[in-house]
A = this chain, B = another copy of it.
């Protein structure tokens, strides 16, 4: 009996004295050398004789000839232009672009999401063509571009910027054209300033020259626009417009022009699917004190929409009119010409130069759109909706993790098949409307590619010897989800566990923060990065982003922000997603959505309340990846509380859905971590004293 007690003590104590916070054996793993693919394989070789162009590349010779003809003799402006810039974006500066707007991909063949093309025209049908893109798309570009194109590898040494290249190609006095509907105010001004020094003029070409040569350009989206009811939005469009008008009064604005698709969708409680992943439709809006006009494809104004917006309502503050999508610029011109419209509010960050240039400077209010801030602070219906969506999303995610534990050792799972299966599981959940972004399903070294998206060429098996990272989310009628977990289905190395634990500690530190009303994200970053920094490690991406209520997966606020929308506002949702990436080896990211809520503090300075983060994503962290001896007591308590919340919230939903096997899996994977398993660094010296005293007691009684 006695010895049993003593053994219990000594066993417990072992965990204290062991407690080296980090194991010395591991170093940062060396990078794997970059394998240069042989030309003549899948990549073009423009230096070979004859040039080698793979079948995946697009033949752009004829297209470029026709584009240059347009540049030479366009009737849209006086004289020819020597260079034409083709951005990747649309007229709303959207993150996800419809097929119809993928002009840069069409003209060059390079289909990656990021990149800008520039085509020059020497006046005799010739010239150069170049595409700027970042390292994510270097390989893809070499496979998709023919030899008409120069690939400008952004981020590599001696690669010129677009402006530098234009100056070197055109000399002084040339003319550069761009579609002003496709560039932000900021980009236009930066281009103009850089070119002005070389006396090159920047022209806004009112007609898109790529569209002129795009014979089989897809037509406008036929996807329906549909109302989202009060049970999801929590506030009528009438009330939202009334709030917007209050803000306009505060800013002395007579009119407000909204150009962001998610802002228009939010304001009118309408949704659509004109672009991938974001449930929005092509539209603009103009609000004044007594009018609200929605500009959209009028074919989409169904009976439902008509009734939702009460179209045909007599004029007045609670009426809305619809107008054709392509009449927006004319309407802005009319506003600008209207002498009763003294000040017109345009969003500084998200408006195109085309809209901006229609409003004379004296009439401009250039500021963040009021809708940007309003929609980031979710009302109680939206809050509950987002929480509910995350409960159902967690059911699918837990089902997936349980399935992986079985399937991965069998060797049949790949990045793509895994992501597909997860999508299938999500789609069985109520109110599922699609993915909220392309799933990042990444095994081993692919996990270190931060914006990885598996393709046929890169698809790897998910194995028992690799770290697996799954970052994915769904659109549900009651909310948008975005969650990342990182797992190992075999035996992780000590270094993988150490870095996973540092990332987890960062996430927990972030959740433990208490902060002031109105705090901008920039002040709240360090806590999540601190554990990695203290080990001499870091990650190079933002800590997190806001997310919509069945809207865009990325919206304000951001943790990087120093102004605009603060994180410190009750009802704000933001992802907390620290990571660590070991190039060529593995990637770790733990992304958990948080809601900003009032903190429970002992005091209230000057009657104030303070804020903290509440977890909304409820998916367990993998126990085998955690080195518990690195966590302090506060962190461990948070982790146990979190897993308890997962059990208590997701468990009943699993039972309700009859998923008993997943329920059992969840119970097994959310057990509290026992204190005897951990070493708080705070406890060590004290514990050592105890251990010695116990040893003395033991030795005394054993003599």
Q: Does A227 contact B (CB under 8 A)?
A: no
> B682, A12: Cβ atoms under 8 Å?
no
Bound-complex Cα distance A530 to B524 (A): 10
> A535, B12: Cβ atoms under 8 Å?
no
Q: Does A655 contact B (CB under 8 A)?
A: no
For A609, the chain B residues whose CB sits under 8 A away are: 536
Q: What is the oligomeric copy number? A: 2
Closest chain B CB from A515 CB (angstroms): 6
> B514, A533: Cβ atoms under 8 Å?
yes
> B682, A682: Cβ atoms under 8 Å?
yes
> A610, B536: Cβ atoms under 8 Å?
yes
For A701, the chain B residues whose CB sits under 8 A away are: 701
For A526, the chain B residues whose CB sits under 8 A away are: 513, 515, 523-524, 526-527
- A522's partner among B535, B562, B680 (CB-CB below 8 A) is B562
Q: Does A676 contact B (CB under 8 A)?
A: yes
- For A1-23 the 0/1 string (1 means CB < 8 A from B) is 11001101100100010000010
> B602, A685: Cβ atoms under 8 Å?
no
- A514's partner among B530, B603, B682 (CB-CB below 8 A) is B530
Closest chain B CB from A680 CB (angstroms): 4
Bound-complex Cα distance A413 to B490 (A): 71
Bound-complex Cα distance A279 to B55 (A): 74
Bound-complex Cα distance A5 to B12 (A): 20
- For A587-602 the 0/1 string (1 means CB < 8 A from B) is 0000000000001011
Given A12-B689, A526-B513, A700-B2: A602 in contact with B680 (beta carbons within 8 A): no
Closest chain B CB from A248 CB (angstroms): 19
Bound-complex Cα distance A522 to B526 (A): 10
For A538, the chain B residues whose CB sits under 8 A away are: 516, 605, 608
> A536, B689: Cβ atoms under 8 Å?
no
> A516, B533: Cβ atoms under 8 Å?
yes
Bound-complex Cα distance A608 to B537 (A): 9
- A601's partner among B5, B534, B676 (CB-CB below 8 A) is B534
- For A499-516 the 0/1 string (1 means CB < 8 A from B) is 000000000000001111
Stretch at the interface among A67-75, A432-440, A690-698: A690-698
Q: Does A27 contact B (CB under 8 A)?
A: yes
Closest chain B CB from A42 CB (angstroms): 30
Residue among A535, A602, A608, A686 having the largest count of chain B Cβ atoms under 10 Å:
A686
8 Å CB interface, A655-703 against B:
675-676, 680-687, 689-690, 693, 696-697, 700-701
Q: Does A48 contact B (CB under 8 A)?
A: no
> B536, A608: Cβ atoms under 8 Å?
yes
Q: Which residue of B lies closest to A700 (CB)?
A: B2
Bound-complex Cα distance A160 to B164 (A): 50
> B700, A675: Cβ atoms under 8 Å?
no
> B700, A5: Cβ atoms under 8 Å?
yes
> B693, A676: Cβ atoms under 8 Å?
no
Closest chain B CB from A433 CB (angstroms): 37
Q: Does A633 contact B (CB under 8 A)?
A: yes
Q: Does A34 contact B (CB under 8 A)?
A: no
For A683, the chain B residues whose CB sits under 8 A away are: 633, 680, 682-683, 686-687
For A687, the chain B residues whose CB sits under 8 A away are: 683, 686-687, 690
For A608, the chain B residues whose CB sits under 8 A away are: 536, 538
Bound-complex Cα distance A503 to B538 (A): 29
> A610, B533: Cβ atoms under 8 Å?
yes
For A321, the chain B residues whose CB sits under 8 A away are: none
Bound-complex Cα distance A675 to B690 (A): 11
For A604, the chain B residues whose CB sits under 8 A away are: 28, 536
Q: Does A634 contact B (CB under 8 A)?
A: yes
- For A514-547 the 0/1 string (1 means CB < 8 A from B) is 1110000011111100100111111000000000
Q: Does A632 contact B (CB under 8 A)?
A: yes
Which 10 pairs of residues, A with B, have the shortest CB-CB distance? A682-B682, A536-B601, A633-B682, A680-B682, A536-B603, A683-B683, A514-B533, A514-B534, A537-B605, A536-B604
Can you give 21 contacting A-B residue pairs, CB < 8 Å?
A5-B696, A6-B697, A12-B693, A28-B603, A28-B605, A514-B534, A515-B526, A522-B522, A523-B526, A524-B526, A526-B526, A535-B602, A536-B604, A537-B605, A562-B562, A633-B682, A633-B684, A676-B689, A682-B682, A686-B687, A697-B697
